[in-house]
């Protein structure tokens, strides 16, 4: 597994690439193999070995690391972005230790686990290390327009991005709610046979809000 992590680092694999490669390797091995099929599981396994680790500052834009002869630089030598000062970093660490911040962290951790009391749990999306913005840009090339929120949700919550096999029951439930809302709101009125226009992004907001028990989400300009 250490070799797999080394390959990820050497060839700049995304988490999605790592996961899919691991899944393929596991699928061609004998059925009783114990090969770890995700980046998350591999990280947890390696952490359990107690190997030493070194934290290295990097440019917030990912241009460089502050290491070797660059360790004392105050800004990125490529994009000129200022480096986060040590005093700022230490103040963040202290803030993260406060009871309020720790309580919020625990809530978010439980949300990611779906409330399950387990150490390992499945990923809740398949975007890997790509941000939603990067994934949206990728889809925009295919659609020749910016993707709507339901399209982005479908892409990042289906296995291998097949747009039909959801990664969990909750994702499938939310998408079914999106479709139900679309059918309801596009229904022709006043004897017309023309479907009503629908705000696709609002469908997503309302479906997620309903799943969380908040009713419909009302977007507001801020």
Closest by CA to 181, choosing from 202, 157, 158, is: 202
Here the tokens at position 104 are 């919020």
H helix or E strand, kind and range, residue 93: helix 86-96
**What pLDDT is stored for residue 116 in this prediction?**
57
Residue 30's CB: how many other CB atoms inside 10 A?
6
**pTM of the prediction?**
0.45
> For the chain, which residues score pLDDT lower than 70?
85-86, 111-131, 211-222
**What pLDDT is stored for residue 13 in this prediction?**
85
Q: Which of left, alpha, beta for 84 (phi over 0: left; psi -120 to 50: alpha)? A: beta
Residue-level length of the chain = 222
**What pLDDT is stored for residue 124 in this prediction?**
58
pLDDT tens by residue, 167-192: 888 889 999 999 999 999 999 988 88
Question: In whole angstroms, how far apart are CA 38 and each of 45, 135, 173, 214?
Answer: 11, 20, 24, 33
- How many Cα atoms are found within 13 Å in the side-chain-facing hemisphere of 29? 12
């Amino acid at each position: 597994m250490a070799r797999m992590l080394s390959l990820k680092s050497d060839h700049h694999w995304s988490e999605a690439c790592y996961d899919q490669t691991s899944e393929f390797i596991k699928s061609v091995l004998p059925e009783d193999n114990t090969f770890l099929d995700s980046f998350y599981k591999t990280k947890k396994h390696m952490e359990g070995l107690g190997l030493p680790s070194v934290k290295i500052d990097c440019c917030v834009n990912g241009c460089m690391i502050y290491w070797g002869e660059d360790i004392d630089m105050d800004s990125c030598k490529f994009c000129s972005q200022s480096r986060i000062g040590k005093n700022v970093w230490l103040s963040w660490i202290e803030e993260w230790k406060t009871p309020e911040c720790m309580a919020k962290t625990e809530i978010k951790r439980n949300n990611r686990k779906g409330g399950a009391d387990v150490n390992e749990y499945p990923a809740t999306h398949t975007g890997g290390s790509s941000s939603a913005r990067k994934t949206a840009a990728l889809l925009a090339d295919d659609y020749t327009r910016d993707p709507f929120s339901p399209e982005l949700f479908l892409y990042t919550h289906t296995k291998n991005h097949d747009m039909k096999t959801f990664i969990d029951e909750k994702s499938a439930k939310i998408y079914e709610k999106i479709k139900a809302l679309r059918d309801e709101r596009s229904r022709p009125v006043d004897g017309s046979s023309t479907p009503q226009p629908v705000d696709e992004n609002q469908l997503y907001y309302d479906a997620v809000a309903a799943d969380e028990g908040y009713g419909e989400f009302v977007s507001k300009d801020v």
